[in-house]
Amino acid sequence: MKKIYTFILVACGFIVVNAQDDMLSLLGEEKTIDYATASFKTTRIINTLSIENNSKGVLDFKINHRFGPLNGGFYDLFGIDQAFIRFGFEYGLTDRLNIGVGRNSYEKVYDGFLKYKILRQSTGARNMPISLSYAATMDYKTAKTSDIAYLSRDWLRAYYTHQLLIARKFGEGTTVQLMPTLVHRNYVKTKAEKNDVYLIGIGARQKLSKRIAVNVEYFYNLPNQLSSAYVNSLSIGFDIETGGHVFQLFFTNSSGTDTRNVLTETTGKWSNGDIRFGFNVSRVFTVYKPKNLDN
């Protein structure tokens, strides 16, 4: 009987040890997926879309201001006397799919966009080095004009922008975003200008503190596409987070607030002091809170 008891004790000990090893093995093999978050403070870098999305059911109300050029001097109060405004709404249909609409006072442009996140930067069980989104924007200009050709067809007032947003967050404080871009213009004034305009954009964010970051945004137009009057857009600014609001204060050589104007109709030159101060205000609201499926 002693031998039987000894055998049972040894067998039970062996089973317990193996069970513990199996559990530890399983725990060692189990990995979670860690996604990169807060690559940018808001869904805009400065003028154009960032890789960030609003979560499902979240509504983002944005107000965008642009003032006149600083080289207007004291007479124009360094541009304060001149102002353009855009107000818009962006909504998360899902965590990956966002839509938005807006109205710009400059040339009375209405705009709308959709943005879909294809890839999310992650580590752990799934290693993805970048985040990738596709964004499509339409701008429709309604300002009155004496150009008969322009007035002859409503569709000539429409402009379409397609972008790939390729971003990577480095550590906790640095993000870089590349933006291969195509702008299609249904109407151009001269044969020298192209209906299709190709650009390469780059945006970057550097976190300075918990609530403050500096942003830079630049778009390079490939040669021989635009009138010589137009230049590349360059914007530099700061994000300041204050609870439910994000304030963006910046300087830019772009006068308009819609995508088409920023990318293909920028005329200001930094070297001439043709720089405009602007600010964006973002306020988010939870319109719909998805049910917790675990409860």
Mean pLDDT calculated for residue range 166-186: 95
How far is Cα 205 from Cα 258, in angstroms, rounded to an integer?
A: 21
How far is Cα 185 from Cα 159, in angstroms, rounded to an integer?
A: 5
pLDDT of residue 180: 98
pLDDT of residue 143: 84
> For residue 269, what are the domain limits?
38-286
* Strand-pair partners of 103: 87, 110
Let me know whether 26 and 43 are in one domain. no
How far is Cα 187 from Cα 149, in angstroms, rounded to an integer?
A: 9
Q: Is the pLDDT of residue 98 over 90?
A: yes
Least confident of 75-84, 178-187, 209-218, 257-266: 75-84
Looking at residue 176, which CATH number applies to its domain?
2.40.160.40
Mean pLDDT calculated for residue range 79-95: 91
pLDDT of residue 30: 60
Q: Is the pLDDT of residue 9 over 50?
A: no
Let me know whether 70 and 156 are in one domain. yes
Backbone angles phi, psi at 271, to 5 degrees: -65, -25
How far is Cα 166 from Cα 204, in angstroms, rounded to an integer?
A: 11
Let me know whether 241 and 191 are in one domain. yes
Count the domains in the chain: 2
Q: pTM for the whole thing?
A: 0.84
Let me know whether 51 and 23 are in one domain. no
How far is Cα 31 from Cα 34, in angstroms, rounded to an integer?
A: 9
Let me know whether 117 and 261 are in one domain. yes
pLDDT-derived band at 19 (thresholds 50, 70, 90) equals very low
Let me know whether 90 and 116 are in one domain. yes
Q: Is residue 251 part of a domain?
A: yes
Q: Is residue 140 part of a domain?
A: yes
For the segment 51-73, what is each residue's pLDDT rounded down to a tens digit? 999 999 999 999 999 998 888 77
In terms of C-beta density within 10 A (0-12 exposed, 13-18 middle, 19 or more buried), how is residue 109 classed? buried
Let me know whether 9 and 25 are in one domain. yes
pLDDT-derived band at 212 (thresholds 50, 70, 90) equals very high
Mean pLDDT calculated for residue range 184-192: 85
Let me know whether 9 and 84 are in one domain. no
Specify the pairing of strand 97-104 against strand 83-92: antiparallel
Q: Is the pLDDT of residue 295 over 60?
A: no
Let me know whether 6 and 73 are in one domain. no
pLDDT of residue 88: 96
Let me know whether 102 and 185 are in one domain. yes
Q: Is the pLDDT of residue 28 over 80?
A: no
Mean pLDDT calculated for residue range 136-141: 95
pLDDT of residue 29: 52
Q: Is residue 136 part of a domain?
A: yes
Let me know whether 180 and 260 are in one domain. yes
Let me know whether 73 and 17 are in one domain. no
How far is Cα 36 from Cα 29, in angstroms, rounded to an integer?
A: 22
Q: Is residue 292 part of a domain?
A: no
Q: Is residue 291 part of a domain?
A: no
DSSP codes joined into one string, the chain: -HHHHHHHHHHHHHHHHHHHHHHHHHHHH---EEE---SSSSSBSSSSB-S--PPTTEEEEEEEEEEEEGGGTGGGTTTTTSEEEEEEEEEESSSSEEEEEEEETGGGEEEEEEEEEEE--EEESS-B--EEEEEEEEEEE----S-HHHHS-GGGGEEEEEEEEEEEEETTTEEEEEEEEEEEES--SSTTS-SEEEEEEEEEEEE-SSSEEEEEEEEEEPSSSS-TT---EEEEEEEEEETTEEEEEEEES---SSHHHHHH-----GGGT--EEEEEEEEEEE------TT-
Higher pLDDT among residues 148 and 281, named by residue? 281
How far is Cα 114 from Cα 158, in angstroms, rounded to an integer?
A: 16
Token look-up 């007479």 returns 75
